[in-house]
Amino acid sequence: MADTRTPGIAAGRLSAGEIAANFADLHAPLDPHQAAVAADRCYFCHDAPCVTACPTAIDIPLFIRQIATGQPEAAGLTIVEQNPLGGMCARVCPTEDLCEGACVREAAEGQPVEIGRLQRHATDALMARQDHPFDRAPDTGKRVAVVGAGPAGLSCAHRLAMKGHAVTLFDAKDKPGGLNEFGIAAYKSTDDFAQKEVDWLLQIGGITLKPGHALGKELSLDALDAEFDAVFLGVGLAGVNALDAEGSEREGVMDAVAFIAALRQSTDLTKLPVGRNVVVIGGGMTAIDAAVQSKLLGAETVTITYRRSQDRMGASEFEQQLATSKGVRILCDTMPVAVHGNGAAREIELEYTADDGSGLKGTGERLRLPADQVFRAIGQSLMVEADLDLDGRKIKVTGAGRTSRPGVWAGGDCTPGEDLTVVAVAEGRDAAEDIHATLMAG
């Protein structure tokens, strides 16, 4: 985090009451009547396009029918059988681009069934039970190391434990959860839900959690490979791409992911410093989350600068609209060329861009914006050095997460594909099934 003495960056811009209102649940949970009404809109399609659009292939018509017939816990079980992190996915999935975007009601009326909120209703009901809904299979005698306690690792560990394997779950952080705990906007996961879901998931038994163990530091792939029958890597992308602009080392220039993590772990947001004039560089979900939360903390002006056109942004249309509704300005076709100031950031200089068919280039036309706090949200990279084939900057995999090294699987953001929680969950689950089949065949 930035030095709070840096001029322009300060804590307590808003009162505790204003902060609490700003960071309240983005989508309030449905009560039973609201859930019944929402479920009644479903056509219960036989060849449901929403199921095809869901990376974890949840039987959406079935769980909605179960809600409609007054069985929310049964609906929750239908969900978590396919997606053990179904509660978090209900809160953070870009449903407008996935299940709800494919909904027949969306195509016919422009108003889909509220699948995400119904999924939250069902999983909340299931998690409110005292007992865990899954039983472990008899002990197989096999031991598996899962490195990374984010969505992919948690999903993999849970499925392996169900199959009767003994799982040791390592994570570099001091607590599990990965992106769900440290990397998303606080208003999407209120009331410490990410940790509550992890605690619920670990009730399956057979999983030993070891925080503070990072691959390349406390752990080596060779040692894990020698000690365990199989290894799954769900290490995410811990590195942040550098900002190639003059003055990028100035006070007030920082990583958006570090800001979001600090905000998520803060116990008093009135003590979290934020700039008066904030500029966020990037066009993905991290950029949106950093920008919106800066505004909610009391920043006077917040601007997202993105080098391409707005329709090329990685963030969904819903997230873009959310940002602008909170007062965030989205400035596209611009790229940073310099951060100006005397030690600390004061202004950011941007250059307009254009693509003439041979690639993106600066036009020579420039502008300056006040900026005492600049967040880098320009992509993340793999930090782990291991003897594995890479696909670009990620770990190359084939099939259900098999790496180039026998006995080692990988999934989630560290492998090619969409960097979404729900995709990571699916990849961890599918890798676990492949690991199980491989171990049992041996």
Q: Note the pLDDT of residue 47.
A: 93
Integer Cα distance of 406 and 123 in angstroms: 36
Phi-psi sector, 401: left (phi>0), alpha (psi -120 to 50), beta: left
Using 70 as the pLDDT threshold, list the residues of the chain that sit under it: 1-6, 442
Integer Cα distance of 62 and 74 in angstroms: 10
pLDDT in tens, 218-244: 999 999 999 999 999 999 998 888 898
Q: Note the pLDDT of residue 131.
A: 86
Q: 78 — phi, psi (to 5°)?
A: -55, -40
Among 349, 376, 403, the domain boundary falls at: 376
Count of the separate structural domains present in the chain: 3
Both 254 and 345 in a single domain? Answer: yes
Both 359 and 251 in a single domain? Answer: yes
- Residue 330 in any domain: the answer is yes
- How big is the chain by its Cα radius of gyration, in Å? 23
Among 376, 411, 430, the domain boundary falls at: 376
The H or E element containing residue 269 is: none
Residue 102: give its domain's CATH number.
1.10.1060.10
Both 161 and 67 in a single domain? Answer: no
CB 279 within 8 A of CB 369: yes
DSSP-derived 3-state class of residue 304: strand
CB 160 within 8 A of CB 139: no
Both 209 and 260 in a single domain? Answer: no
Both 84 and 110 in a single domain? Answer: yes
Q: 260 — phi, psi (to 5°)?
A: -65, -40
Q: Note the pLDDT of residue 155.
A: 98
Among 321, 349, 376, the domain boundary falls at: 376
Both 165 and 87 in a single domain? Answer: no
Reading the block at residue 138, the tokens are: 């008899």
- Residue 73 in any domain: the answer is yes
- Residue 19 in any domain: the answer is no
- Residue 137 in any domain: the answer is no
Alpha helix (H) residue ranges in 192-316: 193-202, 221-227, 256-265, 285-297
Residue 165: give its domain's CATH number.
3.50.50.60
What's at 352, amino acid-wise?
Answer: Y
Helix, strand, coil percent values for the chain (each to nearest 5)? 40, 20, 40
Both 311 and 358 in a single domain? Answer: yes
Q: Which residue range is the domain that position 37 belongs to?
A: 32-127
